[in-house]
C-alpha cells in the first residue's frame, strides 16, 4: 500500500497550486507497528505542511506590501535575501525581498522588508510560549529532550535558548501586570479571602544571603474562583500595585470586605493590606498557631521518652498543653495565656528536681508560644465558630501553592541555586501557567517584547 499527502493552496488571484507534502509505502499491513503514521512520518508531514503554508503566506504578504499605498505603483526591487522562521513544526527558510522607497516618496521613504515585518523575532509567538511553558515546568535540559522527541523540530533548541526565552517572557509578564484591568470586566465579589505566606529559594553563591524570601498569595472570592500571585519583593516592579490589580480582576471593589490570612509577620500583612481595595480584616492562620502548640507537645512527648520515670510529671503537663490548644481554638486568648503562665511556674519549680535539659527545652518552647500569642492576640479569632460558618481559617492551601510554585521547580531538592531576578521572572511564568491564563497573558504582554524591527509604514 502506498500513500501520499498533498496540500492545495489557492491564492488571492484564484490560482491553485498543489504540493506533495510526504509519501510512503506499507508492505506489511497486518501488524500493529505499521498502523497509521509513525512518529517520524508524522513529523515529516507536519514539517512539510508548515513549509508550504509559511512560504505561501510570505509571498502573498510581499506582493501586498510591494504596492504603494499612496499611488498604487510597485516599489522597486532592491535585492533578495533569505530569512529563517523557527516554529513548533519545523524551521522554514523563505525568500525575503527588499523593496526601495516608492518614487512618489509619500507613503514610505526607506527600504522595506515585508518578511521582517512578519517575523520580527524569527520565531512564532506560539513557539516562544511553548518554550517558556516547558522551561518553567521542567529543568531546561529535560524540556529540551521532550520537545525534541515530540515536535518536528529540525534541531532542538539549545538549553540557553529555552532559559533565555523563559526569562524574557517572565519580564514581559511583569510589565503587563502593571496595566489596570478593564472596567466592569468581572462581577463585583461579595467577599474575598486573601491567604498570604512566604517561601524561600536557595540563592546563587554570589548573592549576599543563602536564600531569599518569596511572597505567595492565594486570593479566592465567594463563588470559589481562585487566583495565585507570586513575587520576589526585591525584584518586583511595584508589587503592591500588581497584587491590587489581581484583586481587581477577581471582582474586588471599594466596598468588598477582604479577609487576610497570614502567619502574623509584618511583611505579608502590610503587603496584603496595602493592596486591598475595601475594608480589611486580619486573621492569624490557625495552621501556624497550631504548629507552635504542636512543638511544645512534641517536646513533652520527648521528655517522657527520655525519662520514663518522669511520666507522673509529664502527664499533667501534656494535659495542660492540650487545654491550651483547645482554648486557642475557641479564641479564648486570655485564658490560654493564664494557663501558659501557670504551666511555666510549675516548670520553674521542677528545675531542682528533674533533668534541667528536658525542663528547659519545654519551658523555652512554651515561653516562645506565650510571646507569639501575646504579639498576635488581636488576630486570634474563635476558629471553631468560624469553621462552623464555613469561613476560611488556615493558609494550608497557600502552603500547597508554595510547594507547587517553588519547591517542585526551584526548591533545594532540585539542587538548584537562583539569582533573585531569575527566580522572580521564572515565578511570573509559573504563576500564569498555574492560573491557566498563560496564553492570554503572553498575548497581552506582546507590546512589551521590544522586537528589533519597527512596524511598517
The 3-state DSSP class for residue 332 equals coil
Indicate the CATH number for domain 192-284+395-416: 3.30.420
Place of cell 539569582: 419
- For the chain, what is the mean pLDDT? 85
pLDDT-above-90 percentage for the chain: 20
Q: Look at residue 272 and tell me whether its pLDDT is greater than 90.
A: no
Burial class (CB in 10 A: 0-12, 13-18, 19+), 318: middle
What pTM was estimated for this model as a whole? 0.82
Q: Which distant-in-sequence residues (6+ apart) come within 8 Å of 46 by Cβ?
A: 89, 90, 152
Instruction: Go through 205-222 and write b for each residue having 16 or more CB atoms within 10 A of its CB, e for each that does not.
Output: eeeeeeebbbbbbbbbbe
Q: Which distant-in-sequence residues (6+ apart) come within 8 Å of 172 by Cβ?
A: 442, 445, 446, 448, 449
DSSP 212: E
Q: Look at residue 75 and tell me whether its pLDDT is greater than 60.
A: yes
Cell numbers of 239, please?
Answer: 508589587
Cell numbers of 361, please?
Answer: 527545652
CA 82, CA 96: separation in Å to the nearest integer?
Answer: 5
Nearest to 418 by CA among 214, 146, 228: 214
Phi, psi dihedrals of residue 179, rounded to the nearest 5°: -75, 125
| Cα-based angle 87, 89, 94 (whole degrees, multiple of 5) | 60
Instruction: For residue range 130-164, list pLDDT tens digits in order.
Output: 999 999 988 899 999 998 888 888 788 889 999 99
Instruction: For residue range 390-439, list pLDDT tens digits in order.
Output: 888 877 777 778 888 887 788 756 678 888 898 899 999 999 999 899 99
Amino acid at each position: 500500500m502506498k500513500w501520499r499527502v498533498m496540500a492545495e493552496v489557492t491564492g488571492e488571484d484564484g490560482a491553485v497550486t498543489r504540493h506533495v507534502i510526504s509519501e510512503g509505502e506499507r508492505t506489511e499491513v497486518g501488524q500493529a507497528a505499521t498502523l497509521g503514521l509513525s512518529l517520524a512520518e508524522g513529523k515529516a508531514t507536519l514539517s512539510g505542511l508548515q513549509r508550504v503554508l509559511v512560504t505561501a503566506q510570505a509571498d502573498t504578504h510581499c506582493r501586498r506590501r510591494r504596492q504603494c499605498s499612496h499611488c498604487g505603483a510597485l516599489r522597486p526591487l532592491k535585492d533578495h535575501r533569505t530569512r529563517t522562521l523557527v516554529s513548533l513544526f519545523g524551521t522554514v527558510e523563505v525568500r525575503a525581498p527588499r523593496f526601495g522607497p516608492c518614487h512618489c516618496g509619500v507613503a514610505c521613504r526607506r527600504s522595506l522588508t515585508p518578511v521582517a515585518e512578519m517575523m520580527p523575532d524569527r520565531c512564532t509567538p506560539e513557539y516562544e510560549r511553548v518554550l517558556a511553558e516547558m522551561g518553567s515546568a521542567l529543568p531546561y535540559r529535560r524540556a529540551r529532550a521532550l520537545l525534541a522527541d515530540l515536535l518536528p523540530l529540525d534541531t532542538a533548541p539549545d538549553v540557553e535558548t529555552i532559559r533565555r526565552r523563559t526569562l524574557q517572557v517572565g519580564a514581559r509578564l511583569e510589565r503587563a501586570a502593571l496595566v489596570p484591568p478593564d472596567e466592569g470586566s468581572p462581577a463585583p465579589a461579595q467577599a474575598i479571602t486573601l491567604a498570604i505566606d512566604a517561601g524561600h529559594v536557595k540563592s546563587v553563591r554570589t548573592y549576599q544571603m543563602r536564600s531569599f524570601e518569596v511572597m505567595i498569595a492565594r486570593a479566592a472570592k465567594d463563588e470559589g474562583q481562585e487566583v495565585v500571585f507570586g513575587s520576589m519583593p526585591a525584584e518586583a516592579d511595584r508589587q503592591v500595585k500588581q497584587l491590587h490589580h489581581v484583586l481587581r480582576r477577581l471582582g474586588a471593589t471599594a466596598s468588598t470586605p477582604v479577609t487576610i490570612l497570614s502567619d502574623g509577620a509584618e511583611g505579608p500583612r502590610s503587603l496584603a493590606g496595602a493592596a486591598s481595595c475595601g475594608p480589611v480584616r486580619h486573621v492569624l492562620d490557625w495552621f501556624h498557631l497550631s504548629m507552635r502548640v504542636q512543638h511544645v507537645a512534641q517536646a513533652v512527648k520527648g521528655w517522657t521518652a527520655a525519662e520514663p520515670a518522669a511520666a507522673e510529671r509529664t502527664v499533667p503537663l501534656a494535659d495542660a498543653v492540650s487545654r491550651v490548644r483547645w482554648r486557642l481554638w475557641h479564641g479564648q486568648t486570655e485564658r490560654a495565656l493564664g494557663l501558659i503562665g501557670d504551666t511555666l511556674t510549675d516548670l520553674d519549680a521542677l528545675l531542682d528536681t528533674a533533668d534541667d535539659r528536658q525542663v528547659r527545652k519545654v519551658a523555652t518552647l512554651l515561653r516562645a508560644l506565650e510571646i507569639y500569642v501575646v504579639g498576635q492576640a488581636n488576630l486570634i479569632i474563635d476558629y471553631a465558630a468560624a469553621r462552623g460558618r464555613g469561613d476560611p481559617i488556615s493558609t494550608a492551601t497557600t502552603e500547597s501553592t508554595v510547594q507547587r510554585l517553588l519547591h517542585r521547580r526551584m526548591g533545594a531538592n532540585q539542587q538548584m541555586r537562583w539569582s533573585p531576578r531569575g527566580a522572580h521572572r521564572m515565578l511570573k511564568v509559573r504563576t500564569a501557567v498555574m492560573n491557566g491564563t498563560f496564553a492570554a497573558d503572553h498575548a497581552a504582554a506582546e507590546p512589551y517584547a521590544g522586537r528589533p524591527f519597527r512596524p511598517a509604514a
